[in-house]
Amino acid sequence: MTALDLSSPVAVVGTGTMGQGIAQVALVAGHPVRLYDAAAGRAGEAADAIGARLDRLVEKDRLTGAERDAARARLTATETLDALAGCALVVEAVVERLDVKQELFRALEDVVGDDCLLATNTSSLSVTAVGGALRVPGRFVGLHFFNPAPLLPLVEVVSGFATDPAAATRAYETARAWGKTPVTCADTPGFVVNRVARPFYAEALAVHELRAADPATIDAVLRESGGFRMGAFELTDLIGQDVNESVTHSVWQAFFQDVRFTPSLAQRRLVESGRLGRKSGQGWYDYRDGAVRPVPRTAGPAEAPAYVVVEGDLGPAAELVALIREAGIEVRPEDGYGAGRLVLPDGGTLCLTDGELPVSQNLVQFDLALDYRAATRIALSASASVRPGLLSGATGLFHALGKKVSVIGDVPGMIVARTVARIIDLAFDAVARGVATQEDVDTAMRLGVNYPLGPFEWSRRLGDTWAYDLLTNAHEWEPSGRCAPSLALRRHADAADAREGTP
């Protein structure tokens, strides 16, 4: 099954931001495009807006004047559904209400031929449910574009329970012919991206609700240590708190209120107060004129230790040894077994968080970094009873490595580590349940939400048992179930232990 021929007309129903973006993608690819909106005059306004964007593409030398003129000639605004007769593909981008979408597609079936591919751009509803009332449900598929559709490459091609494989293949090949990077997935709550990404928001909110760190500090650690392009609080402000909370709630309800997807009360209160993010002027941050952006909590200057003793294998943090030497601090290696640690001259111990709380008075934990050499900030955590001076010594060590330091409260897994571990866990669970392949999950998370690594890439880098071990420990300290590792992740860790001969 191949992509739709470029001579085949494509229709877009719903002409908001997403509908206009999808129409522009199909138009620039070379298709005749018909726009329809239930609100009178909206389709014409959308056609004008798309034309203006085509003008800007010419100004940026991304289209020639002739290509723009040809595209405009292929674009038609229609005032009736009947005008969509003869289309080979209709993509719906209307309000996220099941009854509205079902009524639309039932009406479309009376207009288009049985060979017309019907697609929904829903991000939170069941593709199976939307297409469930259709006379020919086999030609119905999800085509989930990401906003802004002309710029973001990812398209999730979602097969509902009744979707014909040939229809899914045609949708996939068409999206690829439009210059997109499609991934295939089964109809599951959140599909790939909105399912696997939930911990990125949820764990940041959990750390905040536990009063371990403020939003600015959490965002800074996620960016500067975790390598994420944006922190969770600034990203949800950009998305819209109401939109992000709605998707979270939808996924939670669709999974029968699975605790792993539990929405945040703090975010609910933000939405109830009307602080929806950038679009309302206030969210977690204040975007009004004259507002001052809060700064992350950053530790003051501290003296570096004269030497550091390295015991055991530091695992994902092994690069710190070279950085310490390069900073001119003597490294004294010692034999050791199990998880590695750094020992300061006063006997204080530093170790990478493993999901347990730092209850010892002689222990400081540091958070995971995507790349310890490139990281510009490191988070530290210790118990309230930590020995005086130990946090200062740990801070001085990381300052000597050129890192800013944020000291946060003691929560299992800190910030980056618990976030990454839970993302990895949900990715393994999704693949085990047949939602998508490992390769498609990694592609979706890198392209759909700009993660620095896909979950499986991250798992291979950190070690096959790292996420399972951290979540197991975190679950012991926080036994609500949200951190409990999935059966799929346990099987993966057990297989790794078996390969290595670990009992």
Active site (catalytic) residues: 123, 144, 156, 194
**Tokens read off for 115:** 């060979």
CB neighbour burial string for 277-288, b if at least 16 within 10 angstroms, e if fewer: beebebbbbeee
Residue 251, SS3 per DSSP: helix
Query: Which residue blocks in 80-164 are alpha helix, DSSP H?
Result: 98-109, 127-131
DSSP for 246-303? Answer: HHHHHHHHHTTS-GGGPPPHHHHHHHHTT--BGGGTBSSSB-STTPPPPPPP-----P
- Give the whole-angstrom CA distance, residue 24 versus residue 33: 9
Q: 407 has which bridge partners? A: 380
Whole-number Å distance between alpha carbons of 399 and 303: 8
Are residues 91 and 12 in contact, defined by beta-carbon separation less than 8 angstroms?
A: yes
CB 341 within 8 A of CB 315: no
Tokens of 107: 């009406």
What is the amino acid identity at position 341? R
Distance CA 405, CA 392 (A): 10
Beta carbons within 8 Å of 253's beta carbon, 6+ residues apart: none
Cβ-count burial of 8 within 10 angstroms (0-12 exposed, 13-18 middle, 19+ buried)?
middle
H helices, E strands: number in the chain: 19, 15
